[in-house]
Structure 1
């Protein structure tokens, strides 16, 4: 369990308990969203990409294999719903989603954004037009760079070094970053 890991990490003198980050995409994005809501007393920062936030919106072939149908397991679906715990959210979550994701529909992220806005919570939201469930090219490079900026800014509290920015940008294969 992720919360148990954080409890253990907090016992280490070299861990800053005010800066515990988590990141993931798809199911890992779901885990990230749950960590920042359900586990808000333990996780402070996260980047969630293409996240399931409501199992009612995901592929029934997969979901019902593990959770049964919503009619058979309403409590399970409620307990697995990120928005159930949104009122606990107090860290900083960066939500990332592609508009053409045909695996985890963007409606998942939109529902979470809507709930967090209704609650007056601070978060970041990045949309990748035309992005599917994962993307390549310039958008992937942009996402990596923005993620690195997020971690530097919020966990290290300093700007990302120019050489790190250049390395991430060069993965695009276009040479030096624009200025």
Structure 2
């Protein structure tokens, strides 16, 4: 009888615990929206080749840092990019320039995502962009931009990231113009 009572108390205790567990937060996915350029200028005719990212930038969670601790970076658990940042930036650049994506085109833009962070209200983006002719890089430069989000939410951060990318693309295109 004591065994039966102990089992009933255990079952009642387990049932009570199950009713108090909050549901897990729902995952939220973010994507970039491109604004196509009317004239890609010096990038006209270039395909968009491979883009890479290392470490936490090769994963889908949004990366954030604390302005008071610039040596650390963390990932959100439930706030994710639709695709890893290298793919997002590649797609965004292709849409912005109206270019096709072709990993092995004779003339192409390739890149690497070095930073794609949220630091306080700042979107911090750093890319390495290069123009490749055949197998040789004929132009290679790093670009960085920071944009302040219009609000505290992650949607505002995504929009600030889009503006930072537009700034980088503008600098890249200007450098290509002066290089000619």
Band of TM-score, shorter chain: under 0.3
Q: Which has the larger radius of gyration?
A: 2
Q: Which has the higher contact order (CA 8 A, sep 6+)?
A: 2
TM-score (norm 1): 0.24
Greater helix fraction, Structure 1 or Structure 2: 1
